[in-house]
Copies of this chain bind each other. A is one copy, B any other.
Amino acid sequence: MSDALIELRRRLAEVADLENLGQLLAWDQEVVMPPAGAEWRAQQRATVERLAHERFVDDRVGELLDTAVPESELDRDLIRVARRDFEVARRVPGDLVEELAHASATGHEAWLRAREDSDFALFEPALRRNVDLRRRWIACFPEAERPYDALLDHWEPEMRTAQAEDALARLRDGLVPLVAAAPPGDDALVHGGPFPNDAQRRLVATILAQVGVEDRRWRLDDAVHPFAATLSPGDLRLTTRYADDDLDSIFSTLHEYGHGLYEANIDQALARSPLGTGVSSAVHESQARLWENMVGRSSGFWRWCFPHLRAAMPERFGDRTWEDVHRAVNLVQPTLIRVSADEVTYGLHIILRFELEVAMFEGDLDIPDLPEAWAQRTRAYLGLEVPDHATGVLQDVHWAEGLFGYFPTYALGTIVSGQLWCRLGQDIPDIDERFAAGEFGPLADWLAEHVHRYGRRLTPTEVVERATGGPLDPGPYLAYVRAKLAGASARLIA
């Protein structure tokens, strides 16, 4: 192997280690750190992020990328992806990065206060600063055809705003009438509680063991805002949250398992390199939503899981059936709050935010007009009136922290999950029966083979096209929703 290639691999491995270390610092802070550690931890995280950045954007890395001689396809992929990352990372000057981080922290503070008082004006200056700084960030990428392209590309490499607009408009136009016509129902069976904490924990442990989580590689812990962290291919950590009055711990855990399993199944030859992680936010989210929804709300899953649920909480479920639970966890009913939205209306919450982001950065939507634009779209897409800012435009943390271009990846991930699910149904026609038998291995193997193992060796578009046989298309997801709602209507009539 050429010296340059060896040195390049070593450098990239160091940066990958530092990035995994950043995940450890974050996991530790959310899960185990004593609270008085917070201010020091912020400095430790800043040090690791700065070092990872400095070591990567060093001129020497540029020289190595130019001189390293690839000896395999893997080397070629490594150099191509590392070069792309390198060029992006060198675009943004260090002082802008620091200003963005500072504005993010102060924006978070301002948002907390504004949300408490439901007062959008309190939040306006911080949001304006975040938008202005992000415009300066966009200006670092003058080759972007549209300003929003730069934002989107950061999370969804090579995706263009026009593509996202097209796919999400088709999703929106399909979902709005479906939601409006969704059959009424009642999910009181899985809401309102009490669902004893220890019973939920036992049930979640049973589910994770069945889907393939082994203590040798995985952990599950509690966190206020659930997330998954990958510390290495041998160290995968999920978090979840147990509420007394709902069973969301099941869906939250499956969601994070989807993220974790993606990272777990990446070819280990890619570890400690920029190739060794998920390819994009949307593809990652597709895995999370597939396990949360396509698996976790399927009839097969509940045929397998219901006896365990009944055994864990016999008072509540002793005289109920799997069909009762299956119906309750599939209810479609618009709500004001994104994070408590059902599977189907969730996409509309995202599309609303995406459209407003594009309008803020490219259109004529001025910040003071944001609440009204929010209210209008909530009415149009969900049929609901927004009573105050706290349950409207102030409900999410993303914009407070200067995070723009990320929201659409949630809905793009949903679209991809629909395409994967459709293809899975062709390759494993009896998948629902397999779930009913407690067999989740065939699904996990299929995903490993068609999506996970590549890491970043393929582009997001290549991953989707190879796995699903075609380009980004909301059709399969809409068909999946239509079938689900038709089933619910049929049950209602019957």
Say whether A117 faces chain B, with CB atoms less than 8 Å apart.
no
Q: 8 Å CB contacts to B: which residues of A1-20?
A: 13-14, 17-18, 20
Q: Identify which of B21, B38, B39, B271 contacts A21 (C-beta below 8 A).
A: B21
0 or 1 for each of A259-282: is its CB under 8 Å from B? (1 = yes): 000000000000110000000000
Q: Identify which of B17, B35, B36 contacts A44 (C-beta below 8 A).
A: B17
The answer to whether B17 and A235 have CB atoms under 8 Å apart is no
Say whether A384 faces chain B, with CB atoms less than 8 Å apart.
no
A38 nearest CB neighbor, chain B only:
B234
Residues of B contacting A47 with CB < 8 Å? 13-14, 17-18
Residues of B contacting A43 with CB < 8 Å? 13, 17, 272
The answer to whether A231 and B37 have CB atoms under 8 Å apart is yes
Q: How many A residues, CB 8 Å from partner?
A: 37
A232 nearest CB neighbor, chain B only:
B40
0 or 1 for each of A419-450: is its CB under 8 Å from B? (1 = yes): 00000000000000000000000000000000
The answer to whether A41 and B272 have CB atoms under 8 Å apart is no
Say whether A218 faces chain B, with CB atoms less than 8 Å apart.
yes
Q: How far is the CA of A25 from the CA of B28 in the complex (A)?
A: 10
Known: A21-B44, A44-B21, A216-B36. A51 touches B236 (CB 8 A): no
Q: Identify which of B17, B37, B218, B232 contacts A232 (C-beta below 8 A).
A: B37
0 or 1 for each of A283-295: is its CB under 8 Å from B? (1 = yes): 0000000000000
Say whether A217 faces chain B, with CB atoms less than 8 Å apart.
yes
Majority DSSP secondary structure for residues of A touching B: helix
Q: How far is the CA of A48 from the CA of B44 in the complex (A)?
A: 13
Say whether A363 faces chain B, with CB atoms less than 8 Å apart.
no
Copies in the complex: 2
Say whether A122 faces chain B, with CB atoms less than 8 Å apart.
no
Q: How far is the CA of A236 from the CA of B34 in the complex (A)?
A: 8
The answer to whether A235 and B33 have CB atoms under 8 Å apart is yes
The answer to whether A215 and B34 have CB atoms under 8 Å apart is yes
Say whether A32 faces chain B, with CB atoms less than 8 Å apart.
yes
The answer to whether A217 and B17 have CB atoms under 8 Å apart is no
Q: How far is the CA of A14 from the CA of B236 in the complex (A)?
A: 28
Say whether A226 faces chain B, with CB atoms less than 8 Å apart.
no
A231 nearest CB neighbor, chain B only:
B37
Q: Identify which of B51, B216, B231 contacts A35 (C-beta below 8 A).
A: B216
The answer to whether B28 and A24 have CB atoms under 8 Å apart is yes
Residues of B contacting A40 with CB < 8 Å? 20, 231-235, 271-272
The smallest C-beta distance from A161 to any residue of chain B, in angstroms, reads 38
Extra pairs beyond A14-B51, A39-B234 (13, CB < 8 Å): A17-B44, A18-B47, A20-B40, A20-B44, A21-B44, A21-B48, A32-B32, A32-B219, A33-B235, A35-B216, A36-B234, A40-B235, A44-B232
Which residues of A are at the interface with B, using a C-beta cutoff of 8 A?
A: 13-14, 17-18, 20-21, 24-25, 28, 32-41, 43-44, 47-48, 51, 215-219, 231-236, 271-272
